[in-house]
Amino acid sequence: MIHWLLRRSLQAVLTFLVVTVLLFVLMRLTPGDPLQRLAGDRQVSAAEAAALRRRFGIDQPITTQFRTFVTGALAGDLGVSIEHYPTRVSTLLVSRLPASLLLGGTVLVLTFGFGIALGALQAVRRGRRVDRWLTRVSLALYAMPSFWLGLVLAWFFGIRLQMLPVAQMHDPLFDPEATWLAGAGDVLRHLILPATTLTAVSLAAVMHYQRTALLEVLRLDFVLAARARGLPERQVLWRHAWRNALFPVVGLLGLWLPMLVTGSVFVEQVFNWPGLGHLAADAVGARDYPVILGTAMLVSAQVLLGGLLADLGYYALDPRVRRA
């Protein structure tokens, strides 16, 4: 176990190093000078430009820049934001993390909860009307741009029906002396639309996985054996088959996380949700390289960690992996 875990973690760390190198190379090898965009239309004297270059460390040779970048990144220092100068990128990321974790965590629970339930229902009712309709709906949702679905939901529930707030995480008119519970309720109301949008666009993958996995298991001999022993169908399905069909869905976590962070860039932007995705979208608009790079590093680390956790889940749940 320890040996396996060490090897797997080492692999993740090495991949992250490759990610760091790739991102650095991408940022530096692309044409154009970041300072030119920073200055915009303003005339910058040579002296000013040199000072700016020194300030952001881009007057150093590329190898020195790379060393500074890597050692800094390892120590959690991702440089200084151009847009929010002189705030450090790490400070920005940390300040946006809670909102993203709240939204992402909610979506994670909702997607896997509904995805597993609906996918299992499809497998059990295979080929019937429920299965066919759920397939159609999930395919349509999978084809939707998250920002568009967000806008449509915001228009319908927020503007037409005036039911739900469509922006921010808190009501600006909210009484600051209200109870803790009322505050949580306020955040929850703001969470509904973004969480629904993100869940809707990422649900299809989980449903599809669960449906396929359960259908595969239902074909196996031990299910036949359980039925032959005269066990009630309900018990065969849930106690025997479904448990075994859960592993592939756990493994999906690593593949699904990139989808979540991608979707959250758009959804957070649409709903003005103060998370990392919104930060990244703004940083692109402002050509704030250090911040784009910082968010890219953070989400890549999350993706690798998700993959690691998924493998760990596999390992804990499925004894066959241990022998492999």
Q: What span, in angstroms and rounded, lies between the C-alpha atoms of 153 and 193? A: 7
Q: Which of residues 22-41 bind another protein (CB under 8 A)?
A: 22-23, 26-27, 30-32, 37
**Contact stretch for another protein (CB under 8 A) within 17-25, 51-59, 89-97, 176-184:** 17-25
Residue type at position 117: A
Cβ nearer to another protein, comparing 68 with 212: 212
- Contact with another protein (CB under 8 A) among 187, 262, 272, 321: 262
* Count of residues near another protein by CB under 8 A: 51
- For the record, the structure tokens of 170 come out as 């808190």
Q: How far is the CB of 50 from another protein (least distance, A)?
A: 22
Q: How far is the CB of 178 from another protein (least distance, A)?
A: 29
Say if residue 53 is exposed, middle or buried (CB neighbours under 10 Å; 0-12, 13-18, 19+).
middle
Q: Which of residues 92-151 bind another protein (CB under 8 A)?
A: 139-140, 142-145, 147-149, 151
Helices (H), 219-288: 221-228, 233-235, 243-244, 247-270, 276-285
Could you tell me how far CA 136 lies from the centroid of its own chain?
25
- Contact with another protein (CB under 8 A) among 38, 80, 118, 154: 154
Q: How many CB atoms lie within 10 A of CB 3?
A: 7
Q: Is 308 in the site for another protein (CB under 8 A)?
A: no
Q: What are phi and psi of 246, to 5 degrees?
A: -85, -25
- Contact with another protein (CB under 8 A) among 73, 211, 295, 314: 295
Q: What span, in angstroms and rounded, lies between the C-alpha atoms of 304 and 8? A: 11
Q: What span, in angstroms and rounded, lies between the C-alpha atoms of 106 and 192? A: 10
Enumerate binding residues for another protein (CB under 8 A). 14-19, 21-23, 26-27, 30-32, 37, 139-140, 142-145, 147-149, 151-152, 154-155, 159, 258, 261-262, 265-266, 269, 280-281, 283-285, 287, 289, 292-293, 295-296, 299-300, 303-304, 307
